[in-house]
Amino acid sequence: MPPTAARHLALYARVSTTHQSSAAQLGPLREYASRRALPAVEYVDDGVSGRKASRPALNRLLAACRRREVAAVVVVRLDRLARSLAHLAKLGEELQALGVELCSLSESIDTSSPTGRALFGMCGVFAQLEADLIRERTLAGLAVARRRGKRFGRPPAVYPPQLLARVRRLRQAGHSFRHIAELLEVSVGKAHKLARLSA
């Protein structure tokens, strides 16, 4: 069903595999829409992981929000909308900026109420904490790996001994780096590097 021009409820459902059915989510969402007495548009992502920030139905839903066509986004559970707190907080901030309410039936979060806004605000706090902890663990892991001698980045290039021997002979014969670069069809900088390696 395409979005209508009037502001509507966006009922969002998602299942991770094609073997699952979104019917169990759509039933309660439709009941909620009926109680609110607002037109409702269903956005369903079938067989799409919640870890993906870009999903076909979610993208259409957000586009409708940005066109100011959506009054509220309704989900059965917040994990249907996003699997990480960081992504959830980002979505929540955008919806709030667009004047769109967010309602989760299971968590009893409704950002149209002060309590709902406070609860959702806590999600943002925990999202930042989660990001900071991940960053700390990553930096600690890199430090330990460096102490053990692990090198990061691209591995050094390995050049054939014949090439290095040729560069060495050319330099000993008095050829300039520019001339060597032309002979080897490489940059002057690469010619300098090969000369250093061949020394």
Q: Please identify every residue annotated as catalytic.
A: 16
Which segments within the chain are labelled E, that is strand? Answer: 8-15, 40-46, 70-75, 101-104, 109-110
59 DSSP assignment: H
Distance, CA of 76 to CA of 105 (rounded, Å): 5
Distance, CA of 170 to CA of 167 (rounded, Å): 5
Q: Indicate the SS3 state at residue 80.
A: helix
Distance, CA of 123 to CA of 128 (rounded, Å): 9
Start-to-end CA distance of the chain, whole Å, equals 71
Q: Pairing between strand 101-104 and 109-110? A: antiparallel
Distance, CA of 59 to CA of 91 (rounded, Å): 11
**Please, are residues 110 and 101 in contact by the beta-carbon 8 Å criterion?**
yes
Distance, CA of 90 to CA of 180 (rounded, Å): 54
